[in-house]
Each structure stands twice: as C-alpha cells, then as structure tokens.
C-alpha cells in the first residue's frame, strides 16, 4: 500500500516510526577507538534471562519491543540459530552493550541489534563497539553489511551509522501496537514518546 502525501492518522494505541535501512558494500575506512576501558565478549548460546535483561537495559528507552514480546521458545529459536552471533560490551565486569550479528544470508551480515546502556551514550563506547562489529563482519566472507534504525531509536543513531560508513538506501514506515499498553514494556518507558490510547 502506498500512503498518500500529507498527514496520515495512526490509530490510537499504536506507535509509528520511520525506518531507514543503510548498507556498506566494502570495508570502510578505519576509525580510531576513543580512549576507554571497554572490551567485547562473545556470548555463545545466550541464556534467555541474560539476553532479555541486556536487551531491556539497552533498548527500553527507545521502545525496543520485538524481542521483548517473544515467547521463550521464539526467542531461543532466533538467538540460538546457526549464523546468529551475540556479543556484549563489557565495562568494569558488567555487560553494558549489545551487538547481535546475523550471518544467515550468504555473503551478508546484518547488525540486528546495536546499542549501549544509557550511562555509556556519548562516551565513545558505541564507537568502540561499532569498530569491533565492523572488524568481525568484514573478517568473514561478506560483500555487504547492513543495518536499520528508526526514529524511535536514539537521535544520534542515524548520523552515527552514516559516519561509520553506511549509506542509506531504503525508507519505510513501521506501525506497531504500543508495547507499553500490553505489558511488554513498563508504562513509564520512553516518556519522550507520549502514549496515545
Ligand atoms: C545511537 C548510539 C549507537 C550512538 O552512539 P553515541 O553514544 O553517540 O556514540 P559515541 O559516544 O561512542 O561516539 C560518538 C562520537 O563521539 C566520539 N567520542 C565520544 N566520546 C569520546 C571520548 N571520550 N573521546 C574521544 N571521542 C569520543 C566518538 O569517537 C564518536 O565520534 P565518531 O562517530 O566521529 O567516531 C548510542 O547512543 C546507543 O547505543 N543508543 C541506544 C540504543 C540505540 O538507539 N541504538 C541504535 C539503534 S539502531
């Protein structure tokens, strides 16, 4: 369906976002790591409670709901699938950033989830995490690395990805049931996005 020009009503109880898809088809120029004592840890066969906790701490303020809404069986089927790799950014022994890579499509890598917890935003930790993500992705037999971000994500995300070497190629509108209305996320999450019900 093609939306008409002009304003379109979003039904009460739903959220809406503009999604931008970005890609790179060659290894980008190296960017220096900011100074900081971060490290990356590969998490094989992540425990569901561990994954849910980190996903929530990184994404709740940005209304990340997709994985939070899944049953344990659905979540395990994805994050334990062959070709999915989950990494944690470690700070002072704590997992404070999430990187999930999807190599299931031959020749491609999708950054499925990428983010750091609130205290680390704007500290250089995300640049460290992106440098590691691109090193891992481009060390494999890939021709394309891609990611998408939406207007509910942190406002720096799109420019951050562009500086990282990604080029925008597709724009979509995504509608979804507001995850704060069905118990997926707490009602007071993401106060900057008002609930309209
Ligand atoms: C969106 C997000 C990835 C953006 O990252 P950020 O926090 O602004 O990124 P950083 O602070 O690591 O880096 C920003 C810039 O400041 C620089 N910087 C920050 N602190 C620095 C420091 N102490 N010393 C030197 N440089 C520093 C970085 O090098 C970087 O510059 P560059 O992009 O030109 O290399 C991050 O905010 C985030 O994870 N948000 C929550 C989840 C989210 O929305 N994820 C995206 C969903 S798709």
Two tokens at 160?
């951050």
Atom of ligand 1 nearest to the CA of 62: 44
Does residue 10 sit within a domain? no
Residue 187: count of CB within 10 angstroms of its CB: 10
**Would you say the CB of residue 57 lies under 6 angstroms from ligand 1?**
no
**What does the H/E/C string look like for 109-143?**
EEEEEEEECHHHCCCCHHHHHHHHHHHHHHCCCCC
* Atom 16 (ligand 1) nearest CA: 124
- Which of 57, 116, 64 has the alpha carbon at shortest distance from 91? 116
Range of the domain at 97: 19-24+39-177
Looking at the structure of the chain, the number of domains it has is 1
Does residue 188 sit within a domain? no
Instruction: Name the residue of 157, 162, 189, 193 to mutate for ligand 1: max ligand atoms within 8 A of Cβ.
Output: 157
Does residue 195 sit within a domain? no
**Would you say the CB of residue 113 lies under 6 angstroms from ligand 1?**
no
**Would you say the CB of residue 100 lies under 6 angstroms from ligand 1?**
no
* Atom 21 (ligand 1) nearest CA: 124
Does residue 185 sit within a domain? no
Does residue 170 sit within a domain? yes
**Would you say the CB of residue 155 lies under 6 angstroms from ligand 1?**
no
CATH number at residue 110: 3.40.630.30
The structure tokens 């590691």 sit at 132
Is residue 67 within 8 A of residue 86, CB to CB? The reply is no
pLDDT in tens for each of the 197 residues of the chain? Answer: 788 999 999 999 999 999 999 999 999 999 999 999 999 999 999 999 999 999 999 999 999 999 999 999 999 999 999 999 999 999 999 999 999 999 999 999 999 999 999 999 999 999 999 999 999 999 999 999 999 999 999 999 999 999 999 999 999 999 999 999 999 999 999 999 999 99
Does residue 194 sit within a domain? no
Does residue 187 sit within a domain? no
Does residue 191 sit within a domain? no
């Amino acid at each position: 369906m093609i939306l008409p020009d002009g304003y379109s009503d979003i039904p009460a109880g739903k959220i809406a976002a503009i999604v931008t898809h970005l890609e790179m088809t060659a290894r980008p120029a190296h960017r220096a790591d900011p100074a900081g004592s971060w490290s990356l840890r590969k998490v094989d066969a992540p425990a569901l409670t561990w994954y849910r906790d980190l996903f929530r701490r990184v994404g709740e303020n940005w209304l990340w709901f997709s994985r939070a809404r899944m049953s344990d069986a659905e979540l395990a089927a994805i994050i334990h699938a062959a070709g999915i790799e989950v990494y944690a950014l470690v700070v002072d022994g704590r997992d404070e950033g999430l990187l999930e890579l999807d190599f299931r499509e031959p020749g491609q890598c999708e950054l499925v989830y990428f983010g750091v917890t609130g205290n680390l935003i704007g500290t250089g930790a995300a640049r460290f995490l992106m440098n590691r993500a691109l090193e891992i992705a481009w060390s494999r037999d890939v021709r394309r690395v891609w990611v998408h971000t939406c207007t509910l994500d942190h406002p720096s995300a799109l420019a951050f990805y562009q500086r990282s070497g990604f080029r925008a190629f597709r724009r979509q509108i995504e509608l979804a049931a507001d995850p704060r209305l069905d118990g997926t996320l707490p009602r007071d999450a993401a106060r900057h996005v008002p609930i309209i019900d």
